[in-house]
Amino acid sequence: MEAQLAATPPHLSDDICAEILVRLPVKSVLRFRVVCKAWRDITTRPLFLAANARRQPAKVVLYTYLDSVQRGYAVDIALDVLPVSGETADQRRLIRYPRSVPLSSMDPLLLDSCNGVLLFRKDAAGIYFLCNPVTRQWAELPKLTDESYGRRRRTVNVREYAFYFHQQSGEYRLLCGRLTSAGRTWCILSTGAAEPRHVDTHAADAGLEPDTPSETTPVALHDSMHWPPRRPRDLSSKQETTTEMVAFDVQSEKFRLMAGPRTITHPLMKLFVMHGLLVAANFGAAKHVDLWFLVDYGAGRWERRHQVPTPWQSISHYSSNLWSTAAACDDQGNIMLGSHCGLLVYNVRMKTIRAVHSVATPRNNVLVSRHVFRESLVEHPNFKRSSAADLPFIHFWC
């Protein structure tokens, strides 16, 4: 009897298996799906997929320009991801696409990232598509039409402002602004919709328009998208230390102003969310980065909790925007900060700083992006399975 019991492997309930499997990286989950039918059933449940996605660490997206031996210059761009912890051994490739696709060398195909889904602009005609490089699913957003010409035509007057997931509808949405003779108009492109939907954001009446979208990426928190704090546009009655932050409520679809941190340093800020709090990383100083935490969201009260020394010269010395600057965190207290000037990882718990030297250097053709990516196995009803015919210019590596 004892020998028979010893030969019988212990049985784990589905709940215990799920608790173990949900903590694994995405690639491990995919491998364990083929172990048995029970594990496949567990790892394909919607609740499991959502929980696993929430546990995935944040990774900074890097542009790697791939050289052609014959031509002697970069012909392809690869999107690589680096964990916020800075562990270069865990750096890996997502996709590759031809460099000829972007509109210019400073206008990459990738526009944004949200919940494991990448937003791309396909060409100059205002065609947008979404792609999950892990599930290899994709979707196309409704096409913008030029009302003046009655046909599809992208102009410099159209700008993409915010890409986000609308929880109630289950849609991915893109907020766009179009400059016309009557002023700026706004529309939302949604997955599953046939046409763009025009919205009245009241932005023009209140002077609430966000800054240039190509330079700033909004951050989602409390059903709102938040743009980095800036100096008030009307300083006539305000102190020079005051900053303001534009927010867009994704439910009411209206803009509003919020208080930013009071700082004498030139505000050159990036936003991210850490432990449920909005954090503003200010790169405006010459030798350090200030980390401001919005400790009271309703009252607009900010605290400067950390001042991180930087080994590089001020980023503001090289650029007036943060088009290619990383500011992201993970659940272990690590914050990655930097750009082509230098890249570091600061740990808020240990108060330690570690430089990441081998990622972006003048010789390896790597450019740090402003985008953050989290892998996700969640599948969406309005997405399709990709094929070579659907996305001929995208090569998957996941």
Q: What letter would DSSP give residue 149? A: T
Tens-place pLDDT, residues 255-267: 999 999 998 888 8
Mean pLDDT for 24-51 is 93
- Res 253: pLDDT: 94
Mean pLDDT for 276-297 is 94
> How buried is 132 (Cβ within 10 angstroms: 0-12 exposed, 13-18 middle, 19+ buried)?
buried
Name, of 13-22, 63-72, 170-179, 221-230, the range with top average pLDDT.
221-230
- Res 88: pLDDT: 82
Mean pLDDT for 171-194 is 87
Tens-place pLDDT, residues 353-376: 999 877 766 667 788 899 999 999
Mean pLDDT for 98-126 is 71
Calculate ∠ Cα 324-258-118, nearest 5°.
35
Q: Are the CB atoms for 243 and 235 separated by under 8 Å? A: no
* CA 85 centroid distance within chain: 17
Helix (H, G, I), strand (E, B) or coil at 142: coil
As given in the structure block, the two tokens for residue 120 are: 């791309």
Distance between CA atoms of residues 201 and 205, nearest Å: 9
Contacts of 241 (CB under 8 A, 6+ apart): 262, 263, 264
- Res 195: pLDDT: 92
| pLDDT surpassing 50 at residue 137 | yes
Task: Give the pLDDT band (50/70/90) at residue 106.
Answer: very low
Buried b (16+ CB within 10 A) or exposed e, 353-369: eeebeebbeeeebbbbb
Distance between CA atoms of residues 147 and 71, nearest Å: 42
Task: Give the pLDDT band (50/70/90) at residue 397.
Answer: low
* CA 233 centroid distance within chain: 27
| pLDDT surpassing 90 at residue 184 | no
Distance between CA atoms of residues 36 and 50, nearest Å: 21
- Res 51: pLDDT: 96
Task: Give the pLDDT band (50/70/90) at residue 206.
Answer: low
The domains found in the chain, sorted by start residue, are 1-55 (no CATH), 56-396 (2.120.10.80)
Q: What letter would DSSP give residue 36? A: -
Which residues pair with residue 356 across a beta bridge? none
- Res 11: pLDDT: 72
As given in the structure block, the two tokens for residue 369 are: 């992006």
> Which of 331, 230, 313, 319 has the alpha carbon at shortest distance from 271?
230
Mean pLDDT for 282-297 is 94
Tens-place pLDDT, residues 77-104: 889 999 999 888 888 899 888 765 444 4
- Res 381: pLDDT: 86
- Res 299: pLDDT: 96
112: number of Cβ within 10 Å: 20
> Which of 12, 56, 84, 70 has the alpha carbon at shortest distance from 356?
84
Distance between CA atoms of residues 27 and 101, nearest Å: 29
As given in the structure block, the two tokens for residue 384 are: 């399709």
Q: Which amino acid is at 170?
A: G
Least confident piece of the model among 116-125, 166-175, 384-393: 384-393
Tens-place pLDDT, residues 294-340: 999 999 999 999 999 988 765 555 555 677 889 999 999 999 999 87
Contacts of 245 (CB under 8 A, 6+ apart): 226, 227, 228, 229, 230, 257, 258, 259, 260
Tens-place pLDDT, residues 7-35: 555 677 888 999 999 999 999 999 999 88
As given in the structure block, the two tokens for residue 390 are: 């659907």
89 or 351, which is more confident? 351
Tell me the average pLDDT of the chain. 83
Mean pLDDT for 113-137 is 87
| pLDDT surpassing 90 at residue 236 | no
Report CA-CA distances (Å) from 317 to 77, 122, 287: 27, 33, 11
